[in-house]
Amino acid sequence: MNIGIPKERRPNEYRVGLSPAGVKLLLESGKHQCFVEHEAGRGAGFRDLEYERAGASIVYSPEEVFGRADLMLKLTRPMKNEIEWLRPNSAIAAFLHLASARQDKLDLLLEKKITAIAYEQIQEADGTLPVLRPLSQVGGTIAAQTAARLLQNKWGGRGILLGMIPGVPPAEVIILGAGVVGSYAARAFRGLGAHVTVLDNDMNALQKISEDLCGVVTMVATPHNIERATAYADVVLGAVLNAGTRTPVLVTRKMVRAMKPRSVILDVSIDQGGCFETSRPTTHENPVYIEEEVTHYCVPNLSGVVARTATHAFVNAAIPYLIELANRGIEDALENIPALEMAASTHNGEIRHLSRHASGQ
C-alpha cells in the first residue's frame, strides 16, 4: 500500500501524521511505500533525513503526496483543497470531527468515495477510545497551564493565581465532563492548587474522580447545577465528548452572562462544535475573544503547540491500527476489526458512523 504523510496546513498546527519511528514500524510490517512531504515533521522536530532513514521517500509538493497515497495519514481534518487533492476511492485517517465539519467538505468526501477514518471514533468493545485518549490526556494537562496564564492581568484576566496563598482562597475551577480530558485537567488544576469541581452525568466516572483525586468535588451535571457552578467559577473548562456526534450545548449564553467579569472559558470540545453557546473556533495565533465580558479560549488543536510530545503519544496508540489498515487493506480491516469499522465516517460514497446535529467550521 502507498501511504502518504503530508505537511499539516492549518494555522499553528505543528504535529504530523506519523513520526519516523512510526514509519519504520509500518514499513517493517509489510510491503508498503511511504511518501512524506518535505518538512512535514519540522514542527515536531523530525527531519526529512530521519524519515528517509526510516525508509520513506521525500516528495516536494502536496499534490504529489496526496496523489500517490492509497492511505493518507494526517492529524487534523483536511481542508477543502486537500480533499480535492485526494485520489477518488482512496482513504484518509485523521482526527476528523466531521460532525462539526462544513457540509461541502462532507459532500466532496462522499462524491469522491473517500473512506474517512476518524481516529477519535476508533472504539474498542469496552467503550474506550484508545487513539483519542493520549491527545485527551495532553489536552487536559495543557488546559491548566493555559488557564493559569489567561487569569493573569496581562491577558485580560481577573488577576487571580490558581493556587492558594495563606489568607487568600484559590481559584474556583469548574470542569464539565469527567472523561479523560476532564480527569487529567482536574489532576493538573489540583496540582496547581485550585479548588476543582467536576460535573458529569456518569456516576461511575464521578466515583472514579472522587476516589482518585482527593479534594476534587463532584456534582451531577443537571442544568441547575451547571448554572449554579458557572456563576461562581473563575475558570470553566468544557471537556464533553459524544463520539461521532456534535457536542451538546450545556452552557447557554444566559449562563455565560451570569459569570464573573473577566473569568475564563476554555472549550476543549470545540472541535466537535463546542459545549458553550458562545463558543467559536480560535487559533493559537489569536486564541481568545471576549463575549459577555468573559474570556473565551476555543482552540481546536490544543495539543498542537506541544507537537513532539503529542505526536509521540498519538503514534504509540495509533500504530497497531495503522498496521492493520495497511496490511489487511481498507475493506478487509473495516470488515474484520470492529474498532476500525466504528471509525469509518464515510465509505463507498455513503455516510457510516456519523451523526450531524449542526453545521460547523
Identify the residue whose cell numbers are 495543557.
142
Task: Specify whether the CB–CB gap between 61 and 30 falls below 8 A.
Answer: no
Interstrand relation of 172-176 and 115-118 (parallel, antiparallel or unpaired): unpaired
The residue length of the chain stands at: 361
> What span, in angstroms and rounded, lies between the C-alpha atoms of 122 and 16?
19
Where would I find the beta strands (DSSP E) of the chain? 2-5, 33-37, 57-59, 71-76, 91-95, 115-118, 172-176, 195-200, 217-220, 235-238, 264-267, 288-291, 294-297, 344-347, 350-351
Task: Specify whether the CB–CB gap between 271 and 208 falls below 8 A.
Answer: no
Fill in the DSSP letter of residue 190. Answer: H
CA distances to 4, 86, 111, 209, 299 from 114, rounded to whole Å, are 15, 8, 8, 40, 27
Helix (H, G, I), strand (E, B) or coil at 220: strand
> What span, in angstroms and rounded, lies between the C-alpha atoms of 88 and 328?
20
The continuous run of DSSP H or E covering 338 comes out as helix 338-341
Q: Which residues partner with 347 through β-bridges?
A: 350
Identify the residue whose cell numbers are 452525568.
201
Angle between the N-to-C axes of helices 132-150 and 307-328, in degrees from 0 to 180, rounded to the nearest 10: 160
Residue whose C-alpha is closest to residue 272's, from 100, 120, 95: 100
Instruction: Please list the active-site residues.
Output: 97, 271
- 235: which 3 cell numbers? 475558570
